[in-house]
A and B are shown apart, each in its own frame.
Chain A
Amino acid sequence: MGAGHAHKLYREGRSPVHALPPHCKIAAVFCFVLVVVSTPREAVWAFGAYAVLLAGVVAVARIPAGYVLRRLLIEIPFVAFAVLMPFIAEGPRVEALGMSLSESGLWSAWNILAKGTLGVAASVLLASTTELRALLLGLERLRMPSLLVQIASFMIRYGDVISDEMRRMRIARQSRGFEARGVRHWGVLASSAGALFIRSYERGERVHLAMVSRGYTGTMPVIDDVTASRAQWLYAAALPLTALVVCLTGWMLP
C-alpha cells in the first residue's frame, strides 16, 4: 500500500468539518440519522429543516453540491420501490392524476424517500470528509472491538488488490475469447470465483506470516491516536442537537 491511497469517495479539503476528530463525526452522523428516523412522517417541514441543516454542513465543508447530489444516485433502487408503494398499500384511496392511490401508501413513500435520502446524504458527507484510515480509527475509538476494526482495515486495504486480481482474471478470460452470455457460462465464472477465493485465502496466510515475522501478537500498534477536546465534541454535536430540537418540535406540534 503506497502513499496517497485515500478512497475514491474522499474529497481532500481543509475545512472545519474535515478537521474534526473522526469519532466525533461518526457519532454525530449516527445520532443525526437516528433522530431523523424517529421523526413523525407527518411533520413535513421537519424534513425540510434537516435538509437545510445538511446543506449547511455541506457549505461549511466546502464540498460542491453537485458532487453530493451525484453520490445520492445510489438510492435509486429503493426510490423505485418507494414509487411502487402508493399502488400496493392498503387503506383509503385518493384520486390523483387519474390514478387511484393509497393514502397511507403515499405517506409511506414520502417517509422512505425523505428519511432514506437524508440518511444517504449524511453518510455521503461523512465519507467525503473523513479519510478511510481515520474512519477506522474513529470506529475503534468508539469502542468497536479492535479485532473487528482490524478485519475491516484488512478488507479495505486488500479490497482493491482482490478486485484487481478479479479484473485481471476477466481480462485473461476475454483474451482467450470467452464471453459470458448466459447460464451455460456460469461454470467458468464460478471456477474463477473459486480460484479468487483460494488466492485471497493464501494471500491472507502470507500476510499473516509477514506480520508475525515483524512481531505481530494479535493487536495492531496504535501510532497516531486521536483525542477530541470538549470544544470539538460540542462542535460536532451541533448537528444532531439542532436536529433533536427540530424532531421534538415535530412531535409537539399536532
Chain B
Amino acid sequence: MHVPDGFIDAPVSVATGVVAAGAVAVSLRGARRELDERTAPLAGLVAAFIFAVQMLNFPVAAGTSGHLLGGALAAILVGPYTGVLCVSVVLLMQGVLFADGGLTALGVNITDMAVVTTVVAYAIFRTIVKLAPHRRRTVTVASFVAALISVPAAAIAFTAIYALGGTADVSIGKVFTAMVGVHVLIGIGEAAITALTVGAVVAVRPDLVYGARGVTARPLEIRDSPLAPAAPGAVARAEAPAAEPATAEPATAGPTTAEPATAEPTTAEPTAAASRTPEPVAAPRRSARHVWWAGLAAALLCAGVVSFYASASPDGLEKVAHDKGIDQKEEDHAAKDSPLADYGVKDISDARISGGLAGVIGVGATLAVGSGVFIVVRRRRATAESGRV
C-alpha cells in the first residue's frame, strides 16, 4: 500500500515529510542508545531482513498469497527506535531505487507505515507483556495482538492524512470503511505470521527478542553431568527427550488447536513437564482446556464489551439491500418477536447494555448447542467403539 505521487496534495506531503524527519531523528538518537556503535551494521542487516521477508509469500488459499509488512515484527524483534529506522530505510530505498511509492509521498509512507505501525505495535506489545504472566506464550500472544491492531491503526492514520490532504473526491467515510475493512483482514494474516515468527525466534534465541527482554530470561540452571555417579534426578532428565515426541505430537496434530502458536508452549517445555510429572499425556489436555477457556473469554469479551462500540447502523448486506430496495419484499423474520430480536434484549432500554447482553446470551447459547452436539457425537462414537469391542 505504498502511496504514489499525486495522491496527497503538496502541502500535506511536505508536512508529513517534516513529521517523518522528526520521527527518524528521534529514532536515530534512540537507536544509538539501544545499540551504540553497533547501530549501523545491525540496523542495516535487520533492514535487509525486513526487505527480504517482505518477499516471502504466504499462500492463503486458491492461488492468492500475502506477504508480511514487517512493522510490528521489527518493533518486537529489535525495539521501537531501531524498528522505525529499519522500516524507514526500507521505504526510502524502495522509493528511490524501485520507484515503489512516490518521492514526495515518502513522508506519508514513512509516517504511516514506519512510525504509526511500529509505535502502536510496540506499545501494545509491552502493555500486554507487562500485565500478563511472564511466560513464553505471553510473548507470542502479545505479538499476535500487537500486529493485529497495528495494521488497521496504520490504515486509520492514512485516512487521517487523506482527510487533510487527499486529492480524490471520495468521502472520508468511504475511504475509512474501505481501508480499515481491508486492513483488518490483512492484519489477521500479519498477526498470525508475526506471532509465528516471533515464537520461532523466542524458542531458539529468546535473548534476541528485544520486546521480551526480562520476560523470557530464565535463572541460570546448574545441571549435573549424566556421567556423575547416579543422582536420582539424572534418570528422569535422561528420559525427558524420549518423552518429548509424545508430548509434542498430540498438541500439533490435534484438530482442536487451530492455531499452531498454541502448540508452541507444550513442545517448548517438555523437559520441565516430563521431569515434574511422570505422565506427559496430561499436558496437551490441559493446554486444550486453556485454549477453550481463553476462547470463551475472548468471545464473551467481543460480544459483551466490543459490541457496545459497534456501529448501530445496519451492516453491509443490510445496507446494500436497503439502498437497492431489495428489502422491501423481505418478510419479517420468523423470530422477530423472540426476546433477542435484532440483537437486543427486549425489556432493557439502554441500547448498548441491551446489545451487549444479547451478545453474551448469544455466545452462551451457541456454546451450549455446540458443546451439546460435540458431547453427543463423542458419546455415540464411544458407544460405537465399545459395541464393536
Residues of A within 8 A of B (CB): 7, 9, 26, 29-30, 33-34, 36-38, 41, 71, 74-75, 78, 85, 88-91, 102, 104-105, 107-108, 111-112, 114-116, 118-120, 122-124, 126-127, 132, 135, 139, 145, 147-148, 150-159, 161-163, 165-166, 180-183, 185-187, 189-198, 200-201, 203-205, 207-208, 211-212, 216-218, 220
Contacts and interface: CB of A to CB of B under 8 A. Distances in A.
Given A119-B5, A119-B104, A147 B28 contact: yes
B309 interface: no
Nearest to B53: A193
B169 A159 contact: no
Contact of B61 (A127, A182, A207, A217): A182
The B contact surface, by secondary structure, is: helix
Given A9-B98, A41-B167, A157 B44 contact: yes
A33 B52 contact: no
A74 B169 CA distance: 25
B60 to A, nearest CB: 7
Given A151-B39, A186-B58, A194-B198, A33 B5 contact: yes
Interface stretch (B83-91, B153-161, B288-296, B321-329): B83-91
A127 B96 contact: yes
A121 to B, nearest CB: 8
Contact of B52 (A34, A107, A119, A196): A196
A7 B100 CA distance: 16
Interface stretch (B6-14, B233-241, B271-279, B365-373): B6-14
21 contacts: A30-B104, A33-B5, A37-B13, A90-B171, A104-B169, A120-B5, A123-B99, A132-B97, A148-B85, A152-B47, A155-B51, A155-B89, A155-B93, A162-B52, A183-B61, A187-B260, A189-B58, A193-B53, A198-B201, A198-B204, A205-B42
4 residue pairs, one from A and one from B, having the closest CB atoms: A154-B44, A115-B6, A194-B200, A119-B5
B105 to A, nearest CB: 8
Contacts of A85: 168, 170
Contact of A152 (B6, B13, B44, B167): B44
A167 B193 CA distance: 19
A186 B258 CA distance: 12
A161 B4 CA distance: 29
Contact of B193 (A88, A116, A151, A193): A193
A116 B47 contact: no
A206 to B, nearest CB: 9
B282 interface: no
A102 B230 CA distance: 85
Interface in B20-74: 24-25, 28, 31-32, 37-49, 51-53, 55-61, 68
